[in-house]
Amino acid sequence: MQKLIEDGFFAGKDLNCAETILHAANEVHGMNLSKEALLLSSGFGGGVGGQELLCGALAGGVMALGKLFVQERAHESDLIKTIIQDYFALYKKEMGHVDCAPLKAAYRSETEGCRQVILASARCIDQIVEKYRQEMA
């Protein structure tokens, strides 16, 4: 996912951070999400509806990881909890925060928007997918 985003996947599409991550995951991992399903990420940009709470790039990642690692429902095992906890820990270690407001203050620019937080989320998702796909194989 990181490579796709680095190559300009989100440029010119006018997607928010959550949408960018879910769209990129859909593309890279062949999740076959419909246009309507992809709309589920739309309200998470700007830290959940512009409130600057949980980073939208992280929220999009949670949606993508759920689709990739849950078969029927989250309660089927504790695996998704472990995966999401690892994802958040990786992201926080790299970026210092998981909430939009401090991330925006540190990384958002007028020219690139939140590209750095989106790339960090994509990197972390790539690492998580690699780790858990190997463990499940």
Identify the pLDDT of residue 11: 82
What is the Cα–Cα distance from 48 to 59, expressed in whole angstroms? 8
What is the crossing angle of helices 17-29 and 56-69, to 10°?
30
Give me the domain span that covers residue 70: 2-136
Query: Residues 64-116: pLDDT tens digits?
Result: 999 999 999 999 999 999 999 999 999 999 999 999 999 999 999 999 999 99
What integer best gives the mean pLDDT of the chain? 95
Quote the pTM value: 0.95
Nearest-angstrom CA–CA distance, 124 and 48: 20
- For residue 43, name the pLDDT band (cuts at 50, 70, 90): very high
Contact 15, 41 (CB under 8 A): no
Number of domains in the chain: 1
